Amino acid sequence: MRSTRFGFLWIALGILASSLSAQITEKRLEQGPGNDWLTYNGSFDSRRHSSLDQVNLSNVETLTAKWIFHVPGASRLESVPIVADGVMYVTQPNEIYAVDGRSGRLIWEYHRIPAIPKGLNRGVAIYGDKVYFTTADDYLIALDAASGNEIWETKMAEASEGFWSPTAPLIANGKVITGVAPGDRGLNGFVDAYDAITGKRLWRWNPIPKPGEPGSETWAGDSWKTAGGDTWLTGSYDPELNLLYWGIGNPSPDFNGDVRVGDNLYTECVVALDLETGKLKWYFQFTPHDVMDWDAVEIPILADVPYQGKMRKLMATADRNGFYYILDRVTGQFLHGNAFVHQLNWATGLTADGKPIRIPGIEPSLTGTKVCPSSIGATNWMSPAYSPQTGLFYAVSLEGCGMATKSTEAFRPGGYQYRATGDVLLVDDSWKVYVRAFDLTTGNLVWEHERVGSTGFGGGLLSTAGGLIFSGEVTGEFVALDAKTGKIVWHFNTGQEISAQPVTYAVNGTQYIALEAGSNVISFGLLAPRKESSK
Amino acid sequence: MPRLGVFPRPQTETPLQTNSVDGVVASHLCLVPHKAFRHFPAEERRIAPCETRKEHPILHNGSGSKKIRRRLCSAGFRVVAFFTLPVLLLQAQAPKPENPMGNGPEVVAAGRALFDQTCTECHGPEGREGERAPALAGNRRFFRLSEGAIFDTIKKGIPGTAMPALGLPDEDIWRIVAYIRNLRGTASDSFVPGDPDRGAMLFQGKGRCQQCHMIRGQGGTIGPDLSSIGAQVTLKHLVESLTQEQPIPTGYRPVKVITQNGEAVEGVAKNEDEFSIQILDTHNRLHLYDKSELREVVHAKKSLMPHDVDKQLTAEEFQDLVAMLSRQARAKVHVEEQGESEIGR
């Protein structure tokens, strides 16, 4: 006899369990980060600014580790944990772990079988009662968020050709938007939209125009066929304009532009796509005819602020090429640009319409030329943040150069590298990593904090209403900075290399700040949180 | 010598694949492989320690080997090894069945007839263990894994034991080999008679399986997803899971909690320790509690899985259901063969 104490469960089983689980609605996605952290960048506008203020300047010194979740087999996690209703979803390639956000205890785990061991993964997206995930064999997978059961899978592109996806999807208005990383392999990227319920592909936008299409005149000969244009970082979305903003990666071959004479549209652009149709509304190209692998995939931050006396819908982004840009995101009009690193030797500035004024000869050569920034860029995948409280745009920036060379390497099908050489990073005393705060509307530097001892970027940034900027360093130091001054107000040595951006969330009135460090996820909270102060 | 990564891989087009051995990981029909694996007592785990892995030829092959080995030897190596290693092996090896007769259903049927005449007296029916000789299938490790090794044993006997050289024609020995390998394979490796389409109807309807179990996105979540069950357990185990009381797999123990506010929540415990519990209820909702928030936690002693499915259905219906379940192999898991990475005991 079964225990009668479990009567309810047995009765409930008599009714086919319907899906009554907590739903992640469009409205919740639009609200931005508070108790939940629902998208890669926290919100559609990608500000990475949370309204939580339980942890703030007055008490951050008592921030302490609450739990650690070790991701089996991981070495250098680079994903952003997604948190919904107290459940945290953590990924590494081909694997998802659902963890209790308060205790760090495992709820379920998913392993793709068979799994191609390739690249890295940047995290899940969540919508309705499902989580969405891209794989190393370039599938989009939907799983039941409560149980981890696989609901459907859709093949995005052919893995055997060299396609794969590390991208954390963005979900807007029931559409799952994904990107792809054929990673400098001469394969043309795409931005896809899939129906969140059925997994059916709704549209595909190709960054590389085919002959006869607008932009095709910017590619010499057949160079468009092996042209690149990755879409590997998550973009932003404006619900009011119904426009999706996505950064497009470098042209192929990366370092030899001789075989692809022209501006090479729409590589190195931010593009505004109509969410319903996938049609291009406007584009802005940061680096025409790039030869330094400066993918323009960096996260575009959307802000509605007064600009030169008038409210404007702005987009701000710090590009890998070393310039900070402000665009009107309705039209794509260039409004302002300035260098945000000192070590920038390839251009003297920007023209009135935002085009770089190049210095001839500062580009990869057969014998090697010093180019600043180096190919890893003045910034990279580490997410920037924007605080409406301070009006500051925060970005990780790297001062450094590379000795860049090119070659006549030919394209080989099958997913092989097609870079035509690269650069040797000149890591000397001048090579430094900073967290910098700029006035969003002027680009003026307000403060900077050096990540002392860092030879690599480290992770991106988190801004909170507690007046704090959280920043994880490649040295393993997790640091909190005063958002107004950049002064260090707290730190914790995680003991492992940090390459990911922190998030914050709250469960039952307690705020947590979580971060992936090396192979672990660590969640922090106040030693004795005063619950009444939480939002 | 440890037999590392050297094992036959039958061709996928044959309906009778005999590449896996039962009971290594899947002791329950209701299984989440990694958890079930972790749940096993140490002596039941079949993965060799890291020192053994260092000699692995596959892991030393190619540029990624060091990284892979580091991962294998990390704290979580068991899980990684279970999922990653087989894939690497699958990619690295061109599978080739050793059996010249093949592994088709007719070969297995002929092998069974020969086995019944020749072997059951000592080894028991279906190799389940007899009066005079050990089991050839079931929950044990095997010294002889490859088809060639089984063939040689039947042909030559084992000196110093009661196992004689049988003196059968080689073709008949190969037929017996096919049958023994079939006994050791997963359900999807076996030829299971019955109507899978009708089985699918029963899964949804009369059998009421779908209330708790999901297959390819359709069904409940209170029990394990069965989309790959045929590739995870043996046919024998599949049938026993439907007909006999089984231990509750990790993550599926029924539990009822009463909160400090008096609210009652019932479901299955996905995880629990002294300090917290994570519950999935029948409405597919997660409830995450700190133990300090709970007044009472009551664990059920038995699984929610009924074990009289064969009595609820007619014999024909039951066969159809088993036929359908045995074919569920969404993800073809290679369960590490017993002893493939270590010497038998």
The dihedrals phi and psi of B11, each to the nearest 5 degrees, come to -70, 145
Residue carrying the six token digits 């506008």? A45
Domains of chain B, residue spans: 1-211+337-345, 253-299
Please tell me the total count of domains within chain A: 1
Q: Looking up tokens 């959280």, which residue turns up?
A: A470
Q: Least CA distance to A143: which residue of chain B?
A: B217
CA angle B149, B152, B157 (to 5 degrees): 120
Residue B38: its pLDDT value, please?
32
Parent domain of A517: 23-533
Is residue A87 in some structural domain?
Answer: yes
**Angle at CA of residue B142, ends B141 and B144, nearest 5°:** 165
Contact B332 A114 (CB under 8 A): yes
Q: Which stretch of DSSP H or E encloses residue B114?
A: helix B105-118
Please check whether residue A128 lies inside any domain of the structure.
yes
Residue B215 φ/ψ region, left for φ over 0, alpha for ψ in the -120 to 50 degree band, beta for the rest: beta
Compute the nearest-CA separation of B274 from chain A (Å).
11
A13 occurs within a structural domain: no
In a domain, A406, yes or no: yes
Residue-level pLDDT, tens digit, chain A, 535 residues? 444 456 555 555 544 444 445 699 999 999 989 999 999 999 999 999 999 999 999 999 999 999 999 999 998 999 999 999 999 999 999 999 999 999 999 999 999 988 888 889 999 999 999 999 999 999 999 999 999 999 999 999 999 899 999 999 999 999 999 999 876 899 999 999 999 999 999 999 999 999 999 999 999 999 999 999 999 999 999 999 999 999 999 999 999 999 999 999 999 999 999 999 999 999 999 999 999 999 999 999 999 999 999 999 999 999 999 999 999 999 999 999 999 999 999 999 999 999 999 999 999 999 999 999 999 999 999 999 999 999 999 999 999 999 999 999 999 988 889 999 999 999 999 999 999 999 999 999 999 999 999 999 999 999 999 999 999 999 999 999 999 999 999 999 999 999 999 999 999 999 999 999 999 999 999 998 765 444 4
Tell me if A429 is assigned to some domain: yes
Using the Cβ of B76 and the Cβ atoms of chain A, whether some distance falls under 8 Å is answered with: yes
Higher pLDDT, A455 or B102: A455
The complex's ipTM works out to 0.88
- Which residue, among B250, B255, B266, would best test binding to A if mutated, counting the most A CBs under 10 Å from its CB? B266
Q: Quick check: is A10 in a domain?
A: no
Is A88 in contact with A109 (CB distance < 8 Å)? Answer: no
Sheet holding A468-472, edge to edge: A49-50, A461-464, A468-472, A477-482, A488-493
Contact between A317 and A295 under an 8 Å Cβ cutoff? The reply is no
Q: Which of A67, A132, A149, A521 best tests the B interface by mutation, with the highest count of B CBs <10 A? A: A149
Tell me if residue A254 is catalytic. no
Residue A117 is predicted with a pLDDT of 83
Instruction: Write out chain B residues lying below 8 Å of A111, CB-based.
Output: 34, 83
Fold (topology level) of B253-299: SH3 type barrels. (2.30.30)
Does A7 fall in a domain? no
- Angle CA B332–B336–B340, to nearest 5: 145
Q: Is residue B85's pLDDT more than 70? A: no
Paired sense of beta strands A445-450 and A191-195, if any: unpaired
Tell me if A2 and B302 make a contact (CB, 8 A cut-off): yes
CATH number where A91 lies: 2.140.10.10
Superfamily of domain B1-211+337-345: Cytochrome c-like domain (1.10.760.10)
State how far the Cα of A335 lies from the Cα of A353, in Å rounded to an integer: 8
Q: Is residue A5 part of a domain?
A: no
Residue A534, H or E segment: none
For the record, the structure tokens of A442 come out as 């002027």
pLDDT for position B317: 97
Buried b (16+ CB within 10 A) or exposed e, A437-457: bbebbebeebbebebeebebb
Whether residue B272 contacts residue B300, with contact meaning beta carbons closer than 8 Å, is answered with no
Model confidence pLDDT, tens digit, residues B298-329? 999 989 999 999 999 999 999 999 999 999 98
DSSP labels, A90-142: EEETTEEEEEETTT--EEEEEE-SS----S-----EEEBTEEEEE-TTSEEEE
